[in-house]
């Protein structure tokens, strides 16, 4: 008996007391929690469901309102067709993908090098570097817009992809370095020492020995950086004013800025603009959640 209890309690020891009383039998009183929780969760996901639903409804129905009897009548991709006919949204998506993929690649490479230095070497200024990285995370990012704008206007980096990529790499780099150095700390030093004995250079050690071992960590850092870049609005709005260079979020915001908004089109654009982050998030939900939670709790 006690062995059974122990085994059962192992995955979630927190509820030992409750389990001992009623094992795992479902009870009618559970509904006191379940029903309100279900209502709350439904309310929480409703705006996203409504977004996708509105994107699939024909234009005349959107203005007419909702009725249960015709809820699923005339579902179509019409709004998406209108979106691509009337706007350059496909261009904005391509721009966003390009900027975010290149930016993510740069962030991961640069962060791996610096993360390795923080993890493996004790050098003068190491503490200061940590402090600098944490401090950048706490600085109001919006404050940088005026000084960086003037720098970039002088360097000809306004209305250019290299300019916005540089901003996005800088924006995601501090967290990426801190995360990477944490992942490297989990790899025993004896491994890189052994590789060095065989005559491998530092860069070879990082690329061939350490990186394959922290692969899941690199994926986490990449996805976190990509999502942050994909969602960014302010700098893209100020720095990329050419219509042919706009990103998805800026393009989307332009759609509902005007009067007489075609909400079917806006919701179609919203659905597309949210798809990459929703997909990436779903793939890596557990790991991202664990990372964020660990960052806030620590010990």
Partner 1 sequence: MTTRRTSLQAYLLSAPALVIVALLFLFPSIYNVILSLQEISPFQGPGDGEWIGLGNFEYVFGNPEFWAIARNTVFWLTALTVLLRIVFGLALAVALHSPVLRRWKVRGLARTLVLIPWMVPQVVAIASWRWLLDGSSGVLNQVLVGSGLTESGVAFLAQTSTVWWSIVAIIVWRELPFVVMVLLAGLQSIPDEQYEAASLDGAGRIRAFRSITVPNLRPVLTVVVLVTVIQTFNNFVYVWLTTGGGPGTYTAVLATELYSMAFFANKLGAGAAIGLVMTMIMAVFAVLYMRATRTEDQ
User: For the CA atoms of 205, 208, 213, 214, what is the dihedral angle to 10 degrees?
Assistant: 80
Q: Site residues for partner 1, window 196-255 (CB under 8 A)?
A: 202, 230-231, 233-234, 238, 249, 252-253, 255
Q: Is 256 in the site for partner 1 (CB under 8 A)?
A: yes
Q: Site residues for partner 1, window 141-180 (CB under 8 A)?
A: 141-151, 153-154, 166-167, 169-171, 173-174, 177
> Smallest Cα–Cα separation from 80: which of 264, 286, 282?
264
Q: Is 110 in the site for partner 1 (CB under 8 A)?
A: yes
Residue number, 22 or 85, with CB nearest to partner 1: 22
Whole-number minimum distance, CB 17 to partner 1, in Å? 5
Q: Is 101 in the site for partner 1 (CB under 8 A)?
A: no
How far apart (Å, rounded) are the C-alpha atoms in residues 2 and 8?
10
Q: Site residues for partner 1, window 18-77 (CB under 8 A)?
A: 18-19, 24-27, 30, 33-34, 37, 40-41, 44-45, 47-48, 50-51, 54, 62-63, 65-66
Could you say which of 220, 222, 224, 270 contacts partner 1 (CB under 8 A)?
A: 270
Q: Is 139 in the site for partner 1 (CB under 8 A)?
A: yes
The encoded tokens of residue 224 equal: 């976190």
The encoded tokens of residue 48 equal: 């996203």
Residue number, 70 or 153, with CB nearest to partner 1: 153
Q: Is 187 in the site for partner 1 (CB under 8 A)?
A: no
Rg of the chain over all Cα atoms, to the nearest angstrom = 25
Give yes or no for a contact between 96 and 158, defined as CB atoms under 8 angstroms apart.
Answer: no
Of the listed pieces 85-93, 117-125, 190-198, 213-221, which binds partner 1 according to CB under 8 A? 117-125
Whole-number minimum distance, CB 61 to partner 1, in Å? 10
Q: Is 108 in the site for partner 1 (CB under 8 A)?
A: no
Q: Is 94 in the site for partner 1 (CB under 8 A)?
A: no
In sign, the C-alpha dihedral spanning 88, 94, 97, 101 is negative
Q: Is 267 in the site for partner 1 (CB under 8 A)?
A: yes
How far apart (Å, rounded) are the C-alpha atoms in residues 129 and 125?
6
In the three-class reduction of DSSP (H, G, I as helix; E, B as strand; rest coil), residue 264 is classed as helix
Residues 6+ apart with CB under 8 A from 140: none
For residue 246, report the phi and psi dihedrals to the nearest 5 degrees: -60, 150
């Amino acid at each position: 008996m006690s062995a059974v209890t122990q085994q059962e309690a192992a995955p979630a020891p927190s509820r030992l007391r409750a389990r001992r009383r009623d094992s795992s039998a479902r009870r009618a009183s559970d509904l006191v929690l379940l029903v309100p929780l279900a209502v709350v969760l439904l309310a929480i996901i409703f705006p996203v469901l409504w977004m996708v639903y509105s994107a699939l409804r024909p234009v005349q129905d959107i203005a007419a309102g909702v009725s249960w009897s015709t809820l699923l009548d005339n579902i179509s991709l019409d709004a998406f067709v209108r979106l691509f006919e009337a706007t350059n949204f496909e261009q904005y998506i391509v721009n966003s993908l390009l900027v975010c993929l290149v930016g993510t690649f740069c962030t991961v490479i640069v962060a791996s090098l610096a993360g390795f230095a923080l993890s493996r070497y004790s050098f003068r200024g190491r503490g200061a570097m940590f402090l600098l990285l944490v401090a950048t995370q706490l600085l109001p990012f919006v404050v940088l817009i005026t000084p960086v704008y003037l720098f970039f206007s002088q360097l000809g980096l306004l209305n250019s992809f290299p300019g916005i990529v540089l901003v996005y790499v800088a924006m995601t780099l501090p967290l990426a370095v801190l995360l990477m150095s944490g992942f490297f700390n989990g790899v025993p030093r004896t491994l890189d020492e052994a590789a060095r004995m065989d005559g491998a250079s530092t860069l070879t050690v990082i690329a061939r020995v350490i990186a394959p071992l922290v692969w899941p960590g690199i994926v986490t850092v990449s996805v976190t950086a990509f999502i942050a870049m994909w969602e960014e609005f302010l700098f893209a709005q100020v720095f990329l004013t050419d219509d042919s260079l706009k990103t998805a979020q800026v393009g989307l915001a332009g759609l509902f800025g005007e009067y007489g908004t075609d909400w079917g089109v806006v919701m179609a654009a919203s659905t597309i603009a949210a798809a990459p982050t929703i997909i990436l998030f779903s793939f890596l939900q557990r790991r991202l959640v664990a990372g964020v939670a660990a960052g806030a709790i620590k010990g």
